Chain A
Amino acid sequence: MREETPAGGVRSWPLVRQFTGRDKHALGAAALSATTAALEPRTATADRVVKSICPYCAVGCGQKIYVKDEQVVQVEGDPDSPISRGRLCPKGSATRGLSTSPSRLSKVRYRRPYGTAWEELDLETAMEMIADRVVATREATWEATSNDGKPLNRTMGIASLGGATLDNEENYLMKKLYTALGVVQVENQARL
Chain B
Amino acid sequence: MPGLGTTLGRGGATTFQQDLQHSDCILIMGSNMAENHPVGFQWVMEARERGAEVIHVDPRFTRTSAVATRHVKIRPGSDIAFLGGIVNYIITHERWFHDYVVNYTNAPVIIDPRFRDTDDLDGVFSGFDAKQEAYDLASWQYEDLDMTGSAGRRMGSTVSGGKLVTHELSPSEKAAVDRPLEHGEPPHVDFTLQHPRCVFQLLKRHYARYTPEMVEQICGSPKEHFLAVAEALCANSGRERTSAIAYAVGWTHHTEGAQFIRTAAMIQLLLGNIGRPGGGILALRGHASIQGSTDIPTLYELLPGYIPMPEEGMTDLATFLYETTAKGGFWGHMDAYMISLLKAWYGEHATAENDWCFGHLPRINGDHSIYPAMMGMFEGSVKGFFCVGENPAVGSANASLHRRAMANLDWLVVRDFFEIESAAFWYDSVEIETGVLRTANIKTEIFLLPAADHMQKDGSFTNTQRLLQWHHKAVEPKGDARSELWFYYHLGKRIREKLRASSDPKNRAINELTWNYPELGALEEPDAHAVLREINGWGPDGKALDAYTKLKPDGSTACGCWIYCGVFKDEQNQAARRKPGHEQSWVAPDWGWAWPANRRQLYNRASADPDGNPWSERKRYVWWDAERKEWTGHDVPDFVKDKPPDYVPPDGAKAEKALDGRSPFIMQGDGKGWLFVPDGLVDGPLPTHYEPEESPVDNALYAQQSNPVRERWPSAINPYHPSGSATGADVFPYVMTSYRLAEHHTGGGMSRTLPHLAELQPEMFCEVSPALAAERELVHGTWATIVSARSAIEARVLVTDRVPDYEIQGRPVRVVGLPFHFGRRGIAVGDSANDLWSISADPNVHIQETKAATCDIIAGRRPRGPALSALVNDYRRRAGLPAEE
Contact = CB atoms under 8 A, between A and B. Distances in A.
Interface of A: 48, 50-63, 65, 67, 70-72, 75, 79-85, 87-95, 97-99, 101, 103-114, 116, 118, 121-123, 126-135, 137, 140-142, 144, 146, 150-154, 156-177, 179-192
A84 B361 CA distance: 41
Contacts of A174: 298, 388, 484, 488
Interface in B440-455: 440-451, 453-455
Contact of A101 (B410, B418, B447): B418
Nearest to B370: A187
A159 B377 contact: yes
Contact of A150 (B16, B315, B532, B848): B315
Given A72-B475, A174-B488, 17 more contacts: A53-B454, A53-B461, A58-B37, A83-B16, A83-B467, A90-B760, A105-B448, A107-B480, A109-B446, A114-B443, A153-B361, A156-B368, A161-B386, A162-B390, A170-B459, A185-B373, A187-B299
Contacts of A140: 383
Interface in B279-313: 284-300, 303-304, 309, 312-313
A137 to B, nearest CB: 5
Nearest to B288: A55
A153 B296 contact: no
Contacts of B492: 173, 177
8 contacts: A51-B471, A83-B18, A83-B581, A91-B757, A109-B423, A165-B390, A171-B292, A192-B746
Interface stretch (B119-127, B505-513, B719-727, B775-783): B505-513
Contacts of A60: 288, 461, 463-465, 467, 469
Nearest to B754: A97
A63 to B, nearest CB: 8
A144 B312 CA distance: 11
Given A134-B495, A170-B485, A186-B300, A113 B293 contact: no
A189 B287 contact: yes
A49 B846 CA distance: 42
B36 A57 contact: yes
Contacts of A162: 298, 386-390, 415
A141 B417 contact: no
B471 A101 contact: no
Interface stretch (B38-46, B85-93, B178-186): B38-46
B293 A184 contact: no
B340 to A, nearest CB: 14
Contact of B445 (A79, A93, A113, A151): A113
Given A80-B580, A156-B382, A157-B382, A105 B288 contact: no
Interface string B771-796: 00000000000000000000000000
B95 interface: no
B305 to A, nearest CB: 11
Nearest to B295: A168
Contacts of B389: 162-166
Contact of B751 (A87, A91, A158): A91
Interface stretch (B550-558, B584-592, B632-640): B584-592
Nearest to A112: B445
A52 B298 contact: no
Contacts of B451: 105
A79 B42 CA distance: 14
A131 B494 contact: yes
Contact of B288 (A57, A101, A108, A131): A57
Nearest to A104: B417
A112 to B, nearest CB: 6
Given A94-B754, A153-B509, A172-B561, A177 B491 contact: yes
B753 interface: yes
A163 B461 CA distance: 11
Contacts of B847: 191-192
B419 A105 contact: yes
A106 B481 contact: yes
B475 to A, nearest CB: 6
B323 to A, nearest CB: 14
Contacts of B756: 90, 93-94, 97
A116 B535 CA distance: 44
A114 B440 contact: yes
A48 B455 CA distance: 13
B416 interface: yes
B489 interface: yes
B390 A167 contact: no
Contacts of B296: 168, 171-172, 175
Contact of B384 (A111, A137, A176): A137
Contacts of A185: 300, 368-370, 372-373, 376, 382
Nearest to B495: A131
B97 interface: no
Contact of B287 (A130, A158, A165): A165
Contacts of B744: 91
A82 B463 contact: no
Contact of A158 (B359, B384, B506): B384
A123 B486 CA distance: 12
A130 B388 CA distance: 14
Given A58-B464, A101-B754, A166-B484, A176 B345 contact: yes
The 5 A-B residue pairs whose C-beta atoms are closest, nearest first, are: A82-B581, A167-B459, A60-B463, A106-B479, A162-B388
Given A83-B18, A99-B455, A152-B365, A65 B474 contact: yes
Contact of A111 (B364, B446, B499): B446
Contact of A57 (B286, B295, B427, B581): B286
Nearest to B33: A59
B418 A105 contact: yes
B620 interface: no
A87 B39 contact: yes
Contacts of B528: 167, 169
B743 interface: yes
Given A50-B472, A57-B288, A106 B495 contact: no
Contact of B531 (A116, A133, A163, A169): A169
A77 to B, nearest CB: 8
Given A89-B39, A166-B484, A180-B510, A54 B369 contact: no
A6 to B, nearest CB: 37
B193 interface: no
Contacts of A160: 298, 385-388
B426 interface: yes
Given A50-B474, A161-B392, A168-B292, A108 B449 contact: yes
A89 B442 contact: no
B450 A131 contact: no
Contacts of B513: 176-177, 180
